[in-house]
Amino acid sequence: MSSEAAWVPVALSASIEPGTSAGAVVEGAELVVWRDAKGVAHVWEDRCPHRGMRMSFGFVRGDHIACLYHGWSYDTAGQCRHIPAHPDLDVPKTIKIATYAVEEAGGVIWTRLATAAQAADPLPTMGTNLPVRSLYADCSAAHALAILKQTQLPVGKDETYPARLQVVTPHAWTLEAGALSLSIAVQVIGPQKIGLHILADEGSVDLIAALARWAQALRLALEAPVTVAEVA
Ligand code: FES
């Protein structure tokens, strides 16, 4: 099955608050992720049909998002409903932005960049919902897997355990150490750029803070130069 049929993560749910928008890239496709005032998340092509401005720079008003440039406003189906320069115009149905399927599960916003004809992969099951952080690194997913296989997770005050890595799907990995379980939703941005959206099953404020520091160190490890000995 092609990757276009797969559910792919675009953000931690907690990072997109109602009334806000953000840009995301999945395998080169530029997307806007936005949440309307009712809390429903949307993922669209990040391009206004008028002059191509990024919709992720736009403004969310109730259940519409308006383009920053000339204010064209779109409803939750991606249909343009209002053009400020022509307020009485019955906006043609052809002025529409491409929208994608969205599911929120396990504290992550997932989308499918699929055509209607493609069957859906099952949504990855994530047994976690406490957001730790999203991190973005200049490396391949394969390199991230190799580094994570050797990582040690903080499990208590000044305590770390070697983590066990499991690949549930290409976009959902788990790490376990002691009683701690982490989920990682893997966003492939490009061949050498990934986003890792990390969640824990439970944890004190101190542990979540320690995990956030671990994630920051992980980003440095992911981007560290690879030595000749490691390549050989
Ligand atoms: S480019 Fe979006 S309204 Fe003009």
* CA 219–ligand 1 middle distance (angstroms): 36
The DSSP bridge pattern shows strands 164-169 and 59-61 to be: unpaired
Residue nearest to atom 1 of ligand 1 (CA): 51
**For the residues 17-37, what does the mean pLDDT come to?**
97
Residue 229 pLDDT class (50, 70, 90 cuts): low
Which class is domain 130-231?
alpha beta
pLDDT at residue number 1: 43
Q: Which CATH class is domain 3-112?
A: mainly beta
Residues forming beta bridges with residue 166, ordered by sequence position: 174
Relative to the CA of 53, which ligand 1 atom is closest?
Answer: 1
If 0-12 CB within 10 Å is exposed, 13-18 middle and 19+ buried, where does residue 107 land? buried
Q: What is the pLDDT of residues 151-181, one digit of tens each?
A: 999 987 778 889 999 999 999 999 999 888 9
Both tokens assigned to 161: 């355990």
For residue 115, the model assigns a pLDDT of 67
Domain ranges of the chain: 3-112, 130-231
